[in-house]
Amino acid sequence: MSRSLDGLSRTLGYNFKDPQLLQAAVTHRSAGGQNNERLEFLGDAVLGYIVADWLYTLFPDADEGQLSRLRASLVKKETLADIARSVTVGDYLYLGSGELKSGGFRRDSILADALEAILGGIVLDSGFEACRACVQRLFSSKVRQLSVLDELKDPKTRLQEYLQSRKLDLPVYEVTSVSGKSHNQQFHVECRVAGAQQSSQGKGSSRRRAEQAAAAGMLDRLGRDPDDG
């Protein structure tokens, strides 16, 4: 293993038994030869499970949708790239000349893929539990920073708080139609925010579900990720 990859192992807190796995994990496809795409595929799947299992244990009262939002906030590209930067993955990437010239070592997508590939490499090198231990080290600060109360709020509550913080009118919800038979109805709701001159639609098996869907759509229209806390 080269001195530079020894340094990456130290920042990761994991020493590879097979250095070639780490070499492959930090090799972008633009560099040619063996690259990190297959390891990234594996790492993505393993990371998703580890984070899901972790959150399931940490938040026993959270429902499926709430757990999904929390997981999404942890495994999204921006979060992975931020963690990759914290262990200086960009300093060790092997990139083709084009990516080097365009600053690929700073690009979120490349950093996120490399981090997932490293995790995939750890699974192959030492197994699942070693990978879990590494994920918990790398992600612990992000997990501690989770704004759980915000993340677990429903879209209507988040929309109301978002509008109030900007001194905009509160949303108005209107059922525009109800379709289907009595035992299988589908509600269609429009959400309007007068001050923002915006409207959105939502549908669901109940008025409440339709309103929540419309609120999520409004958050998206206003430029706020409906899954952000």
- CB of 74 closer than 8 Å to CB of 51: yes
- What is the number of H-type helices and E-type strands within the chain? 11, 3
Give the closest residue to 26 by CA, choosing from 110, 102, 106, 86: 110
Identify whether 225 is a catalytic site residue: no
DSSP state of 174: E
Catalytic residue among 40, 44, 125, 211: 44
Tell me if residue 79 falls in helix, strand or coil. helix
Give the closest residue to 116 by CA, choosing from 43, 28, 14: 43
Catalytic residue among 116, 125, 151, 190: 116
- Enter the tokens of residue 104: 């690929």
Identify whether 44 is a catalytic site residue: yes
Residues assigned a catalytic role: 44, 116
